[in-house]
Chains A and B, each alone.
Chain A
């Protein structure tokens, strides 16, 4: 059962997803990978900041906030 890939920032708050593809490049890509954002990683969308951006995600047991610019470069599949 394969759904469509969506960018991480479009993931509804409270739902979970699996990372399918990392589109970010260069230093941002490396920074994301350092936090364990690699293909197959489980991510949960936790909460929006008061203005809706950035959004905090749970990644490998830690809370990480990403701006929409960065989160949109992570393609995920909602589960």
Chain B
């Protein structure tokens, strides 16, 4: 369970619960000023977050619980959420609900209200409800539920002050909520009453009616948690067990089927939710939904669904390539202009030449390359991609592709984790938590690396621009886009193919169930997206790349300049790798660049340039044309470029991703498999392509 770090005993702990995709993360961010990533798809929040805020000189600690639909199904997320509400002693629990589908959200709210009294309902997404012409009677809702209800639009900050004030009042006892209790049928209520007095003596902090019902239902997950958190040992408590047996026997004798007890419970809760919803909801404009529906019909249609998906992806890449071209050149020019001046400065200072070479030719130049090659595409790609995510398009991709994943015995939500992988494979691996079935989750983790992350796009873009499309011109960016699209469609096919192989070999099994919510389209907040994706994602990823690039630049410079015998260390390594690499259509330096690029894929091309330039005359590369010349001088053909692109798409995951896989799977075995599977795929594909092309006399 969460460790909550209190700074003083007066600190107030707030649990934030809610269905997936209700804007819970947005509420969390708005209250705490933190920047948890948000996006319009269920299950977005997979990491557990805590944050603080101060309101009227009091400190509040906010704990963001995993989004769940219920607390009765005993999934890991539900257990975490339930245990924190039961045993984490939060002073207040806020249940964030979606105003546009209140009924479904009330199910969870009512369940939480059975456990604890100090509940505040936050009806969020009021702006969306308004656009749908839905009106919710907040006061009536509060009266019916017996707890405070606050209406908010967290994205714009509306209602958050009311929410803070309400939290304060509930926390200090000024308002005492009296939650409506679900009434079950008479037989069940009688049964509960027989156990309740005894339960009160063992768990005085918990709602005894709720615990009694859970015990009659034989909820093992709760019994285990009680054992862990309040030191209550159920198996020793023969008295309670006898009582429960009696009650169950009596229930059965009265015609109550124990196996559908939970069905009865869920039905009672949903019927209450339905009743309340009908009481407070007024004016529902169907025409708004029709627009949503029409968009969906097109985006998921048999004829257009998949072509539109590919076209949208193509548009994102084209904008990225076209838009990044010029800024990349400007950055390179600027950074190398600074390099010249730094060199003059060092000469003027009279520092030894090797100090200058290490700092400038080693570290600075690698950094300059990483920044000029990486920054512009990321700064364009991330906001565009976040826009699609915010709109709610990603679940539609999962919907469109699920059939193929089912054929591969994998989970349709793997499409979502692949989409996250486009940004960063480590993020993609974490996103795999949304897949319940452990087998399918492992498949998604192992294959996530097949989709190229942002660190590998520059490699693909640069190589396809130079060798496939010719030097920079407008038509070339279209050709480059098409080639990258082809590469991505291929990577999806490889993902499906490898998933299928895994399902038939080391991860045998049948596809599990697939239930996916398609959230309503939401109007994205363009301004916020740009700021967030540039500052949180772009600069974060770039920062990490820079951190890795600086030492890598140093290492590569040392390797290129320390000579043993006739050659430099780098050349020794490259010569050693060369025969094998040639079989794959690469050369030893390219293989070295991939190996040294293990910490981050972003630095593969910069390392390669460093290696080539340090061998001979030092070039000031400021355009793709010059880079192309450098590659050609080193014996490259189109085949080298194609093989390098294939290997870039299919090789070991970067260091960060591997560590994330270790953390997620808790196993070195699966981490190694995640390393080996894409690497072997890459070796086999490159070998086939290189040897095939040579046999056919194409290269």
Contacts and interface: CB of A to CB of B under 8 A. Distances in A.
A22 B267 CA distance: 12
B191 to A, nearest CB: 21
A5 interface: no
Interface string B498-517: 00000000000001011111
B266 interface: yes
Given A32-B515, A38-B266, A46-B293, A61 B301 contact: no
Interface stretch (B65-73, B629-637, B663-671): B65-73
B399 interface: yes
A62 to B, nearest CB: 5
A65 B402 contact: yes
A35 B517 CA distance: 10
A70 interface: yes
B515 A64 contact: yes
B404 A46 contact: no
B582 interface: no
A38 B270 contact: yes
Given A34-B70, A60-B104, A49 B515 contact: no
B101 A62 contact: yes
A65 B302 contact: no
Most central of A34, A35, A48 by chain B CB within 10 Å: A34
Interface string A26-47: 0110111111101100000011
B101 A60 contact: yes
Q: Helix, strand, loop or mixed for chain B's interface? A: helix
B514 A66 contact: yes
Contacts of B404: 51
A14 to B, nearest CB: 10
A3 interface: no
A10 interface: no
Given A50-B400, A60-B103, A70-B513, A39 B267 contact: yes
B72 A34 contact: yes
A70 B514 contact: yes
A42 B300 CA distance: 23
B515 A31 contact: yes
Nearest to A27: B73
Interface residues of B, number: 44
A54 B402 contact: yes
A61 B300 contact: no
B100 interface: yes
B406 interface: yes
B73 to A, nearest CB: 4
A8 interface: no
A47 B300 contact: yes
A62 B517 CA distance: 7
A47 B39 CA distance: 24
B597 interface: no
Given A31-B73, A34-B72, A50-B302, A56 B518 contact: yes
A64 B403 contact: no
Contacts of A69: 511, 513-514
Given A47-B297, A52-B403, A35 B104 contact: yes
A30 B518 contact: no
A38 B263 contact: yes
A69 B515 CA distance: 11
Contact of A34 (B101, B107, B305): B107
Interface string A55-73: 0100111111111011000
Contacts of A28: 513, 515
Contacts of B403: 49-54
Nearest to A61: B101
Interface string B62-80: 0000000110111100000
A61 B514 contact: no
B200 interface: no
A64 B104 CA distance: 12
A51 to B, nearest CB: 4
Contact of B517 (A30, A50, A64): A64
B262 interface: yes
Contacts of A48: 300, 302
Nearest to A38: B267
Given A39-B267, A63-B518, A64-B517, A30 B302 contact: no
Contacts of A39: 267
A35 B563 CA distance: 67
Contacts of A53: 402-403, 406
Given A31-B73, A34-B73, A47-B300, 13 more contacts: A33-B270, A48-B302, A51-B404, A60-B101, A61-B104, A62-B104, A62-B517, A63-B296, A64-B516, A64-B517, A65-B399, A67-B406, A69-B514
Interface of B: 69-70, 72-75, 100-104, 107, 262-263, 266-267, 270, 273-274, 293, 296-297, 300-302, 305-306, 399-400, 402-404, 406, 412, 436, 511, 513-520
Instruction: List the 4 closest pairs (A to B, CB-CB), nearest first.
Output: A51-B403, A34-B70, A50-B305, A61-B101
Interface of A: 22, 27-28, 30-36, 38-39, 46-54, 56, 59-67, 69-70
7 contacts: A31-B69, A36-B273, A47-B297, A49-B399, A53-B406, A62-B517, A63-B520
